[in-house]
Structure 1
Amino acid sequence: MSSRVPRHGQHVVVTEIDRADPESVLALGQVGTATIHEAIGRRGFLGPELRPIQTGVRVAGTAVTVLSHPGDNLMIHAAVEFCGPGDILVVTTTAPSTHGMFGDLLASSLTARQVRGLVIDAGVRDSADLREMGFPAWARHISCQGTVKSTPGSVNVPIAIEGVSIAPGDVVCADDDGVVVVSRDEAGWALERSRARLDTEEGTRARLAAGELGLDFYGLRDKLRDLGVTYIDRLED
């Protein structure tokens, strides 16, 4: 396939992409999105409205991206061919869509290709079946409303969700707290920063568990005073 950059409005399926280091991706999948988000400077969060349809799943994978027409899942089907072990399919639409664009049949195809999950800025259907299959998904909507397969889009092009840019091969980290994206080139750095934060948090957790107050540990008493907060014994009647 030609490596030329597609023109504005051109629909393409990019068949070959560079992916983040798989060992870093696996390790980030054990960290947790809240820690990663804080460790990399509070970047990469795809927003609170992308919610998991299951609980207790923590995963990271490399992004295969899809740009679809609202209510049309043709390009999701096209993307399956280029998904592989360790990927996460990331789908957005050219305008808001509440349709159930992904269900158990597509999940069966992705499972066969050892894909780790789905992030979709639209809807999923067959949510009970997806949970029973153990195929994790993060979606903006759950909807039984079906789709068509008639409008072109693109696969493995840069996309954006909630102002966060997602390039093919970036690291997608997802758990009960949401979805955070780490750029492919920053995967190793993000892992180092996340591990350092985990070490710090472990020490903090031990001190708080021993009874130390966060007010004292974080030096917040002085901040309260500087903000004009005063302590009094009780309110007068």
Structure 2
Amino acid sequence: MNNTVRTPALTASAFAELGVATTHEAQGRAGLLHPRLQPRQSGVAIAGTAVTCEVPPGDNWMIHVALEQAQPGDILVVTPTSPCDDGYFGDLLATSAMARGVRGLVIDAGVRDLAILRRMGFPVWSKSVSAQGCVKETLADVQVPIVCGGRMISPGDVIVADDDGVCVVRREDAPGVLAAAKRREAAEEEKRALYAQGNLSLDLLDGMRARLEAKGLQYLS
């Protein structure tokens, strides 16, 4: 049965507009998944709650089990128990995921049917793209803490994914990180307006010129 405690939907969804870079910075430059997990589309930003899934090498049976546990607003996070680049996920599983309200897939392995996934509008961040199919023979764990892209991810944590990659925010930390991310975004908007007017970051950022001078920077005429 699915008794996972999830980050509240409004909190999790709000991270999509803020994005991966701002979220990562707002929580002390933490939470980024390895950059080998690449977006397989462009211009898409999503955020939601993690539904986690382990898969044995070359076996995608547990993804089918994970989809049974998925709820609207979830993001499917999949990691193999041993490194594997096979195409675990394609258009049929995406169709099922979309019907259950899953917002996207993060997988430290391969996907296939990429052109169809793009046409469907189902976003994916994956380690590889491979047409190699999978069997359905071996059990593994679903909705348990996993390591994906080098980061520990627990069911119900917030996943933020866009063109810059993927970031995780622990469920317990999500409200505080969201508030910090909003403050950071507001500060960056102010700086952006000043930069657009021709002001230099060297003059706007506190102490930057003094620190450069202390490091020995010299302007030669």
Taking structure 1 as the reference length, the TM-score comes to 0.90
Distance 1:173 1:79 in 2: 19
Match of 2:152 among 165, 169, 173: 165
Structure 2 unaligned regions, length at least 5 = none
Q: Give the RMSD, CA atoms, in angstroms.
A: 1.1
Q: What count of residue pairs does the alignment treat as equivalent?
A: 220
1:67 is aligned to 54
Structure 1 unaligned regions, length at least 5 = 2-14
1:1-237 to structure 2, matched below 5 A, reads: 15-218=2-205, 219-233=207-221
**Higher Cα Rg, which structure:** 1
Q: Is the 8 A contact 1:21 1:187 kept in 2?
A: no
SS in 1 for 2:193: helix
Q: Which letter maps to 1:193?
A: A
Question: How many angstroms does 1:164 deviate by?
Answer: 1.5
Question: How many angstroms does 1:194 deviate by?
Answer: 0.7
Distance 1:221 1:189 in 2: 32
Question: How many angstroms does 1:27 deviate by?
Answer: 1.1
Deviations 1:171-216 (A, max 9, x none): 1010000111011111211111111101111111111111111122
Distance 1:117 1:180 in 2: 14
Taking structure 2 as the reference length, the TM-score comes to 0.96
Aligned-residue identity in percent: 53
Q: Is the 8 A contact 2:77 2:148 kept in 1?
A: no
Distance 1:115 1:89 in 2: 7
Runs (4 or more) in structure 1 with deviation over 6 Å come to: none
* More helix as a share of residues: 2
SS in 1 for 2:18: coil
Distance 2:203 2:81 in 1: 49
